[in-house]
Amino acid sequence: MSTPTLFSLDDFPVGCMVTDNKRHIVYSNRYIEEYFGYSPHELVDADLFSLLSKASQIIYEAYIVPLIAREGCCDEIRLTLVTSAEKLMPIVVSARHDSVYDRIFWSISSVSRSNQLFEKLTETKSLLEQKVSLLRTLKDTDPLTGLPNRAALTKYLDQEMLSRKRNGMAFAVAFVDLDGFKEINDRHGHHVGDKTLQLMAERLTGNLKSDDMVARFGGDEFVIFLKDCFSASLVEESLTRLVSKLAEPFKVDTLPLNLSASIGVTLYPQAKDVEPGQLIRQADQAMYQAKLAGKNQVCLFNTDNEVVQKEKHSELLAIRAAMEFGQFELYYQPKINMRTGKVFGVEALIRWNHPVEGLKGPATFLPVLSNTPTGLALGRWVITTALCQQQIWLQKGLKLQVSVNIDGYHLQHPQFLRDLSAILSDFPNLPKQLFEIEVLETSTIEDVSHVSSVLNACRLMGIRISLDDFGTGYSSLSHLRDLPVDTLKIDRSFVKNMLTSNNDLAILKGVIGFAHAFGYGLVAEGVETLQHSQRLVELGCECGQGIYIAKPMPARAFPTWIDEWYQQACQEKYKNSFV
């Protein structure tokens, strides 16, 4: 028997470093010397800050330290290192805290090397995040794909059905069967078949939301649990996109292969009580119907599928009628500088003046519009109406920045820039820098490269770009890296609990640190009290919006509100807070 080869940290293809709780370096490996010029003996007892740029020191204090204190680790953080030759070099670091020895273990690599690994890391990140809560024991894990197995799926469904009875949230269960897998397995062998299943598992997890769950049911069958399902049409639309992703060509050991999938889906809750096993059987039956209909498609379990289609069609007809009859209206919520009290802008928010149901918020009607011509038409109406109102205010001496929310599917539409340019041409005298597009960070952006080019084109027109709901999407840092933005909007969920939750406060400090380090503007949503305003200003975020300042209001109410704000209201709310 041969003796196993022993490796030291000097053999690792990345930099390894250990620091104590006072940032003193206690160890560094050969990689640090070879790539950055620092020998181990000259780094011993040195302050970690001596290796970092000023911006990276801010990121360390504002983001990395709170994250390690809360999570015990951080992954894939981009910093700038000062080499021994005093050159600035972009690096990627990850850290783990050892509570026993009170040491922080760092891995450090150059950005050029990190970029080579980035695609593979992003593919596996979603899988790791989704399965972490279920991989408690090996008995609940499929050994081939690393996904939860059938037993884990059954337990998970039991828990979610009990939770549904308490919180009223809906969900969907989808059954996935790979079309043509048997032929691949028989023709090329189990080795290729196993790698194909692993790749399909990665595609499934990589193209779903982080809080959805994928389990391997057996053979080439998978079951997907979809949370927060607002309607059958949205579920079907999401799974249809997934079918397209699964059908993309791939290679196993340089062997080009093609595969597709048939998916059946059922919704919960239902009119009658059902067990977890019944939900899976319903989805399985719907999958069989998808096979019979020609494969490579989605089929909804429903006694009469036409009912679902008629429901969606009816909702879209109602919305189109509302547009024709002028039932939609934009409300505006002010944004202020909480240090000076100055009103610098407003966010345009759509409302539906329904003749029967009264005033309806966007959550009640926007989901059905996703990826529809009606949704695109309503988006154009929002932009046009906001610009028209901005022009009216400007003529009255109110110079305000006006922002509108834009979902991902609008930006990905091939005619978006052409339509936007046509709308802007109708307002030649409006300063374009006063108009802002707020990109929803939680929206689905399938083609980030295309959206990035669209946003760059908008900026060339003079339009400002804001990343809305920052921190709530699973790819916040990726969007921050890939999308050209001017402003980060801190999501209200972090602001709301910042006074009572150390975790939310730590996240808030991290976002503010990011913005300051990279020169982004900042606006905090959800300012509900004077204490929120004061604490945000102390932390370095001067701009905010929320119900403490003002609720969203019709355009006709805004001039009166702003007069009252400057004459009395701002002093009453903030008293001696302004400087």
The pLDDT of residue 204 is 93
Whole-angstrom distance, CA of residue 499 vs CA of residue 493: 12
Bridge partners, 484 (sequence order): none
Least confident of 248-257, 268-277, 394-403, 490-499: 268-277
Domains of the chain: 9-111 (3.30.450.20), 133-303 (3.30.70.270), 327-574 (3.20.20.450)
Least confident of 295-304, 432-441, 519-528: 295-304
- Judged against a pLDDT cut of 60, whether residue 309 lies above it is answered with no
Q: Residue 202 CA to chain centroid, in angstroms?
A: 19
The pLDDT of residue 511 is 86
Least confident of 221-235, 249-263, 366-380: 221-235
The pLDDT of residue 497 is 87
pTM over 0.75: no
Q: What percent of the chain clears pLDDT 70, i.e. is strictly above it?
A: 88
> What residues contact 127, with CB distance under 8 A and at least 6 apart?
146, 147, 201, 202, 205, 206
- State how far the alpha carbon of 26 is from the alpha carbons of 42, 59, 114, 542, in Å: 11, 22, 25, 40
Q: Is 425 exposed, middle or buried (0-12, 13-18, 19+ CB in 10 A)?
A: exposed
- Judged against a pLDDT cut of 80, whether residue 97 lies above it is answered with yes
The pLDDT of residue 380 is 95
On the CB side of 238, CA atoms within 13 Å amount to 25
Q: Classify the C-alpha dihedral 473-478-480-485 as positive or negative.
A: negative
Whole-angstrom distance, CA of residue 92 vs CA of residue 113: 9
The pLDDT of residue 474 is 40
- Judged against a pLDDT cut of 70, whether residue 134 lies above it is answered with no
The pLDDT of residue 166 is 65
Q: Residue 531 CA to chain centroid, in angstroms?
A: 28
Q: Please say whether the beta carbons of 198 and 130 come within 8 A.
A: no
The pLDDT of residue 259 is 92
Which one, of 217, 238, 229, lies nearest residue 156 by Cα? Answer: 217
> What residues contact 205, with CB distance under 8 A and at least 6 apart?
126, 127, 130, 131, 147, 214
- pLDDT band for 305, please (50, 70, 90 cuts): very low
Whole-angstrom distance, CA of residue 399 vs CA of residue 184: 65
Instruction: Specify the amino acid at residue 570.
Output: C
Average pLDDT (538-544) is 93
- pLDDT band for 8, please (50, 70, 90 cuts): confident
pLDDT digits (tens, 9 = 90+) for 325-339: 999 999 999 999 999
φ, ψ at 558 (rounded to 5°): -70, -45
pLDDT digits (tens, 9 = 90+) for 417-445: 999 999 999 999 999 999 999 987 555 56
The pLDDT of residue 170 is 81
- pLDDT band for 558, please (50, 70, 90 cuts): very high
For residues 307 and 452, the model is more confident at 452
- For the chain, the residue count is 579
For residues 286 and 307, the model is more confident at 286
The CA radius of gyration of the chain, in Å to the nearest whole number, is 27
For residues 537 and 470, the model is more confident at 537
For residues 302 and 255, the model is more confident at 255
> What residues contact 469, with CB distance under 8 A and at least 6 apart?
440, 441, 442, 489, 491, 525
The string over 250-275, giving b where at least 16 C-beta atoms fall within 10 Å of a residue's C-beta and e elsewhere, is: bebeeeebebbbbbbbbbbeeeeeee
Instruction: Specify the amino acid at residue 20.
Output: D
Least confident of 132-146, 200-214, 536-550: 132-146
